[in-house]
Structure 1
Amino acid sequence: MAKTIEEINEKIKKGKAVVLTAEEIIEYAADKGAKKAAQEVDVVTTGTFGPMCSSGAYFNVGHTKPRIKLGGGKIYLNDVPVYAGLAAVDFFLGATAMPDDDPRNKIFPGKFSYGGAYVMEELVAGKDVRLTATAYGTDCYPRKSLETYISLKDMNEAVLFNIRNGYQNYNVAVNLSDRVIYTYMGVLQPNLGNANYCSAGQLSPLMNDPLYKTIGAGTRIFLGGGVGYVVGHGTQHNPNVPRTDKGVPKMAAGTLAVTGDLKMMNPKWLRGTSFTGYGVTLTVGIGVPIPILDEEILRYTMVRDEEIWAQVVDYSEAYPQCIPGNLGEVNYKQLKSGKITVRGKEVPTSGLSSYLRAREIARTLKEWIETGKFILTRPVESIPSVDSGIVFKPLRERPIKKK
C-alpha cells in the first residue's frame, strides 16, 4: 500500500516513524522481503562527504556610515577576492577563489594552501575574517574604502549556495603516463601506480534514488551540519547515461544544486581542502532522506556497492584531451577492498569521499527524524530524469576573428 509524505510526517511528529540508514535497509529488506519492508519502513537516510568545487556562499553585511557601494568595486575576505557584481552590500564568495598573490602553479606543484573554502570554514567556526574593499563612490554611496573585521553573527544573511553537489557516480582516476600528475582527483602515480575514486557508493543520496523519484526542488536535507534544501538539478546534470537494469548510472550522471543558512552549519561538515597542483575546494557533508512511498522506491534503496559500477579513466591523456572511452569498469565493493585490476595489473585504490563521515551523516539525519527535529518536504518540482531529453554538451568553440 502506497504512503504519502504527509502520512510519514504525521508518524515522525508522533515519534512512530521507522527510519533506517541506506546501509541498514539492505539487510533489513533482505530479511523481511521488499514488499514487507516497504510497508514497515518510512524513511531511508543517505549521506556523502566529499570535495565539491562548485560551492559558494552569498552574504549581506549591512550598510556602513557613510554608505559604501561595494557592488562594482573590489572586495576581499582574508585577501581572497569576492564577486562584487551585485548590489551595495551583497557579494558572493566562491569555494575555489584564491588570493591574488598565490603563486598557483608557478612553483609546480602548487600548494594552494588557502582560498574561499577556508574562509567559509573559518566563518562557520565563529572566527573573524578581514573584510577589505574599495569603491568608486557615488552621491548616495560616497565612501570609497573599507577595512574591518567581520563574522557571521555580524551579517544579515550568510547563505551557502552550491550549484553542483552530490554527483551521482564518478570516474575512477588512474595515470598511464610515466610521470606523477596532479589532478582534482588527487595525486596520481605513474604507470597505474594508484586509482582514486570519489563517491560514498551505497550510501550516496542519488544512488538511492537513481531516477529521482523523490528528490527534487524543495527537498529538505542535511547540509553542512545544518538544514538545507535542494534548489533543483545542479550544473552538468546528465541523466541520459548508460545505466544498470536497476537504473543505477555507470558513470557521472545526476547532480544537485543545494542551499542553506551558513549560520546554522558546523565546520566539521564544511572543510576547506587543498589539492596539490590543482587548487582549493570545499568538502561538503550532505544527507538526503528518501521517503519510502512504495515498494519501487524501497527497492532502489537496497542498492549494494557491488551493484554500482564506475568507469576507470586515464587522467594523463584521455581525460584532459576529451578522448572518449575507458580502461574498464569496476564496482564499489572492489574499490573499497583497497585494490582493483586494470590492464592485468593490481592497482591500490583510495577514496576522496569519506565513507565513515557519510555513515555518520546518515545516522545523524536518522536521529533527527526519529526525534522529530526534522520533517520531510514534498518537492515542488521533479529533477529531470532519463526521459527529459537532457544531454550534457561540450563547449562549441567559435573562434573570434581579430580585426
Structure 2
Amino acid sequence: MSVFKVNKTFQEINEKIRNGKAVVVTAEEMIDVVKENGHLEAAQKVDVVTTGTFGIMCSSGAFLNTGHTKPRIRTSKIYLNGVEAYAGIAAVDCYIGATQTREDDPLNKVFPGRFRYGGGHVIEDLVAGREIIVKASSYGTDCYPNKGFTKKMTLNDIPDAVLLNPRNGYQNYNCGINLSKKTIYTYMGILRPECMNANFSTSGQLSPLLNDPFYRTIGVGTRIFLGGGIGYVIGPGTQHNPGVKRSENGVVMGGAGTISVRGNLKGMSPRFLRGASLTGYGCSLNVGIGIPIPILNEDMARFTSVSDDEILVPVVDYGLNYPSGEASQPLCHVSYAQLRSGEIEVDGKKVTTAPLSSYAAAREIASILKEWITSGKFLLGEPQEVLPSVPFEGFQN
C-alpha cells in the first residue's frame, strides 16, 4: 500500500489535460506554490510542472536521408556545406555531428583551432530553411553505379531528417575555472589564468532532471519539448551516472543523469537549435529542451520545488586537473544562486561568473510547454522504462 496521501496517474492527468482542467505551473512558479502551501497541498493542486534548459550540448546530431539520385548512389563520402558527415550507414543515409568542423574554414587557416562553422551550424541552417550544398562521392557498385553528385538542398528537399542526440540535458554540471598561468580555450568557454573568471552552464532550478532527481517520471517514451518542436526521450544518455554524490535532499552535486533524445527536425525552430562556435575549441549546437514533470504525489511536489540556493555545483580547474583526468575532486562547491549573483569565492578569492546557457530561453521553453499542455495540445508520455537511478531514502528535515 502506498504511503502517499496524494496518488495520481499519467492517465488521470492526461484526462484532465484533454478536458482543459489540468493545473500547470513552471518549475520557477512551483517554488512559490510549495512555499505558500506546503508540499502536500501543492501536490493536490498542481498536476504538471514544466522545466526548460537551453545551452551547448555537444553530443548532438542529425540523421539525414538525402534521397536517391538517377542513377542511384551508395554514398561513401558526403559533405554538407563543407562539413563531413558520416556516410557508413546505407545508400543515402548520413549522420551529421554537431561538433564536426569545416576544415577549410577561412578563420582556421589564420588562427588554427578557431573554427566558425560546423555540424551544429548545418543543422541550424537546415531548420531555418536555408539552402546548403550537398557533395557526395562513391566507389560505385552494380546496384549503385553513380559515383558522385553535388546539389543545393533545403530541409524540404530531404525526405527524412531526424535530430538524434546521444547525450543531452545534463542534470547538473561543473563550474569551470583556470588555475594555470595562461589563458585556455575550452568547451566551457575562455578561462583566464589564475582564477580570473568562472563559467557555468545548466539552468539550475529550471533544469529538467534536477526537478526529477531520481527519474521517477522520465524514461523511454517521455514526450518533451525539443528544439522548438516535439521530441521524445529514448533512454539514458551516454555517461548517465546516477551514483554521483547527492545532498541530503537528493539533489546531485555533479553531472549525474543524462538523456538521449530524438525528434523530427522538420518540426523544429532555429530559435531553439542554434549552431555554436567556441573560440579555440571548435563548434557545437545549442539545444532547447523542456520536460513536463507530472505531480503524482507529495515527493514529486517537493522535488519540483528545488531552488537555485539548494543546488550545489562543483568548481573544477580546467587548466590542470580536468585535462589530466584528475577532476574527480572539485576544489569546492557553490550554489546556482551564488553563480547567478555574478560572483563566487574560491580559496578566499572573489571570482566573476558568467553563464554559457541562457536562463531567459530556459524560462521561455518552460512557459511554451506550459501553454501547450494547458491548451490541450500536448499530452504526457508515460515512460515504458524509467532511467536507471539509485534508491531514495526520503527527505531529511
TM-score, normalization by structure 2: 0.95
* Equivalent position of 2:162 in the other structure: 159
Q: CA deviation at 1:121?
A: 0.2
Gaps of 5+ in 1: 389-403
1:48/1:205 contact within 8 Å kept: yes
* Equivalent position of 2:333 in the other structure: 329
Could you tell me how far apart the structure 2 residues matched to 1:320 and 1:229 are? 33
Letter in 2 for 1:221: I
Describe the superposition over 1:204-231 as per-residue Cα deviations: whole angstroms up to 9, x where unpaired.
0000000101011100000000000001
Could you tell me how far apart the structure 1 residues matched to 2:107 and 2:218 are? 38
Describe the superposition over 1:67-101 as per-residue Cα deviations: whole angstroms up to 9, x where unpaired.
1111xx11000110010101111111000111233
Q: Aligned runs of 1:163-312 on 2, under 5 Å?
A: 163-312=166-315
1:378 aligns with 2:378: no
Could you tell me how far apart the structure 2 residues matched to 1:205 and 1:38 are? 18
1:8 aligns with 2:13: yes
1:22 aligns with 2:27: yes
* Equivalent position of 1:64 in the other structure: 69
* 1:319 counterpart SS class: helix
* 2:323 counterpart SS class: coil
Could you tell me how far apart the structure 2 residues matched to 1:212 and 1:104 are? 43
Could you tell me how far apart the structure 1 residues matched to 2:346 and 2:184 are? 18
Could you tell me how far apart the structure 2 residues matched to 1:131 and 1:378 are? 39
Could you tell me how far apart the structure 1 residues matched to 2:107 and 2:233 are? 33
Q: Aligned runs of 1:12-161 on 2, under 5 Å?
A: 12-70=17-75, 73-102=76-105, 108=111, 110-161=113-164
Specify whether residues 212 and 104 from structure 1 end up closer, same or farther in structure 2 by C-alpha distance, changes over 3 A only. farther
What is the Cα-based RMSD across aligned positions, in Å? 1.4
TM-score, normalization by structure 1: 0.94
2:80/2:122 contact within 8 Å kept: yes
Specify whether residues 339 and 109 from structure 1 end up closer, same or farther in structure 2 by C-alpha distance, changes over 3 A only. farther
Q: CA deviation at 1:196?
A: 0.4
Letter in 1 for 2:53: T
* 1:320 counterpart SS class: helix
Letter in 1 for 2:210: M
Letter in 1 for 2:342: G
Could you tell me how far apart the structure 1 residues matched to 2:200 and 2:236 are? 22
* 1:34 counterpart SS class: helix
Could you tell me how far apart the structure 1 residues matched to 2:318 and 2:362 are? 26
Could you tell me how far apart the structure 2 residues matched to 1:107 and 1:101 are? 11
Could you tell me how far apart the structure 1 residues matched to 2:111 and 2:322 are? 20
* Equivalent position of 1:365 in the other structure: 369
Identical aligned residues as a percent: 59
1:105/1:277 contact within 8 Å kept: no
Could you tell me how far apart the structure 1 residues matched to 2:108 and 2:259 are? 30
1:349 aligns with 2:353: yes
- Structure 1 stretches of 4+ moved >6 Å: 103-106
Letter in 2 for 1:246: N
Letter in 2 for 1:330: V
Q: CA deviation at 1:108?
A: 4.9
Could you tell me how far apart the structure 2 residues matched to 1:341 and 1:69 are? 57
Gaps of 5+ in 2: 1-5, 393-397
Q: CA deviation at 1:105?
A: 6.9
* Equivalent position of 1:317 in the other structure: 320
Could you tell me how far apart the structure 1 residues matched to 2:192 and 2:234 are? 38
1:208/1:301 contact within 8 Å kept: yes
* 1:267 counterpart SS class: coil
